[in-house]
Amino acid sequence: MQFIIENLLPISIALMSSAMLVWSMFGNRVRGIKDVDANAALQLINHKDAFVLDVREPEEYKAGHLLNAHLIPLGKLKERIGELEKYKDKPIVVVCRSSNRSGSACVNLSKQGFTQAYNLTGGMMAWQKANLPVQK
């Protein structure tokens, strides 16, 4: 018990770090987000005719995006959700730079009744790392 009292700060930091690690691994599942890697996203696009939603800012989109991706910045998603109604029961691959914004977008889509929203894990960085095609 004396050890714990004397080392409370390092123990607390270790516990917080562990909790953050666990959340990063399982947090999306808890929030109901379906993650897909670049190859699985490519399969959804090619074989299931998935709609590709890019939630980055216009400048990021212009620098390079997935082929046939449709841009709706995350900040505009709620007001433009009507544009996606016809995809409500179809696969949607949501992409951003690193998969943080796209994860939030997937949560928003799920709340609006979209049943097949998939978060591209690692976002455009992972897509480019996998040497998959980018359109400018």
Active site residues: 96
Contact 85, 122 (CB under 8 A): no
- Give the integer Cα–Cα distance in Å for 133 and 127: 8
Name the one residue in this structure whose structure tokens are 């987000």: 33
- Give the integer Cα–Cα distance in Å for 75 and 108: 11
Contact 108, 133 (CB under 8 A): no
How far apart, in Å, are the Cα atoms of 74 and each of 6, 27, 71, 94? 46, 20, 9, 10
Contact 33, 107 (CB under 8 A): yes
